[in-house]
Amino acid sequence: MSAPEVDFVPVPVPRPNGRRPAGPEQAQDGRGRQAAEPAPPMRGLRARNDELRARVVAGQAEAIERQHGLGKRTARERLELLLDEDSFVELEPFRRHQAHGLGMERKRPHTDGVVVGSGTVHGRRVFVYAQDFTVFGGSLGEAHAAKIHKVMDLALDNGAPLIGLNDSGGARIQEGVMALNGYGGIFHRNVRASGVIPQISVILGPCAGGAAYSPALTDFTFMVRDTAQMYLTGPEVVEAVSGVRVTHAELGGADVHGERTGVASFVYDDEETCLEEVRYLVSLLPGNNLEPAPSAGRCGAADDERPELAEIVPVEPNRPYDMRAVIGELVDDAEFMEVHEHWARNVICALARIDGETVGVVASQPMVLAGVLDADAAQKAARFVRFCDAFGIPLVTLVDVPGFLPGVDQEHAGVIRHGAKLLYAYCEATVPRVQVILRKAYGGAYIVMDSRSIGCDLSLAWPTNEIAVMGAEGAVNVLFRKRLLSAADPDGLRAELVAEYSEQLMHPYHAAERGLVDDVIDPVRTRAAVARALEMLRNKRRSPPQRKHGNTPL
């Protein structure tokens, strides 16, 4: 859907001698020569420019009404919610496509379906583009793509976050390969900017076909329920190819990507909440990989005791509890932003502040699958660890993990490969890293969750910690299988052997005595201990080995 064409009639440009080409309507001077027309007054030119700009900004009333009828705001309304008041500087508002054929030369609205520019979020510079569904359905053509390329280049050159508000029907079919070329330019820039500036995608309408790859390449993707959809092939194509009927929401709605695929980092019910949360995320992040994240100022965490921590976590190793309650006691003001909250819920990844400084928290979640690691959880945590490391955000890892999830499905799903992603991410990370072992830390999962052996700087443990190859009962069943089978009282013998194994190899100070845990701390002092550890590590410097890049087990 396009906005009405807004034509601007250019003022004739004088020739070097100050005269314009003669026309039949021009008056002649006394010698029979045609007299030059006086130049239009500046006031008239300014008024004409203001009028055109106002018409471009206002858009087409009928198309805007349809957009509102779909429960969606316009591109400019969204930018007003996202950016600080009066901070937006628009670029190329008068851009129009140059395509010909298929009637395109008769429809040339200004902006070409995307509003681009720069503004501030909490006073900090960001660059942004917002696709305008009221113009050509937000479809991407050559001029549309060129505007996005420009703002992406400016974001990278200026070391500022890039935010894309997506609401587009996809490639503009009438422009053919030039539309595809435009998408390629966006993807190339997404990769160039990766790890240099934060990139945030916000899906506020359709994002179909090749367009979906740009959000997949960015650091965080926000989606709004009921209005946002992402998929490579739409329901019609799926039905034609497979015979399966599916709705847009069932195929690529916000809940699908928030709960099943992990494509959406955050899902919200409405645009207002979504864009407010984008602002909060930006407040936690550095502008680029060479800057520190903004500090909120110290708040006395280094001396803060939290008695609730001694009550939240049960001493019994098999009793569940909500790790989010622990995180709430650990971070400033109990505020944290959980990434992928509804996907792979057996591990928690969150951004927060401790003593005013941004940290990334990776934590087991005993409330879901007892906190075991599986293929999805490993992928989720690995990507989060790599993001934090790229932008210099310290990592705090809270461990209560009984191991990797066993099963045929997991093995066939590639849990080895996906677990290796998390292992690789931690091994590669050079930011300050603090591990806290609350209860269980068994087997390979203990190693993967940022153990000392793979490079964590400080490992702290509670008196309830159990670090071992496996739980005592499992170990006894393996080690003494034959003895238990022949015993007159196998249950009594098993209990005796379990107690012996636990006393020798699983007591709280076993790892500390061997230098694998730096200190066994009072749970009440966890916030203070972590804050002091991070302060101690604040100036950590470690250079990676010289190489082009490693080969991550993707």
Active site residues: 209-210, 444-445
Q: How far apart are CA 462 and CA 441, in angstroms?
A: 12
**Alpha-carbon separation of residue 17 from 13, 28, 35, 327 (angstroms):** 11, 17, 13, 76
Integer Cα distance of 526 and 553 in angstroms: 34
Rounded Cα–Cα distance for residues 256 and 264 (Å): 9
Burial 441-479 (b: 16+ CB within 10 A, else e): bbbebbebbbbbebebbbbbbbebbbbbebbbebbbeee
Pairwise CA distance, residues 370 & 349, whole Å: 16
Which of 517, 477, 513, 514 lies closest to 495, judged by CA? Answer: 477
Question: Would you tell me the crossing angle of helices 75-82 and 271-284 to the nearest 10 degrees?
Answer: 40
Q: Give the whole-angstrom CA distance, residue 35 versus residue 26.
A: 7
CB 452 within 8 A of CB 459: yes
| H or E element that contains 506 | none
DSSP letter, residue 405: P
Cross-strand bridge partners of residue 163 = 128, 200
Residue 137 CA from chain centroid, whole number: 25
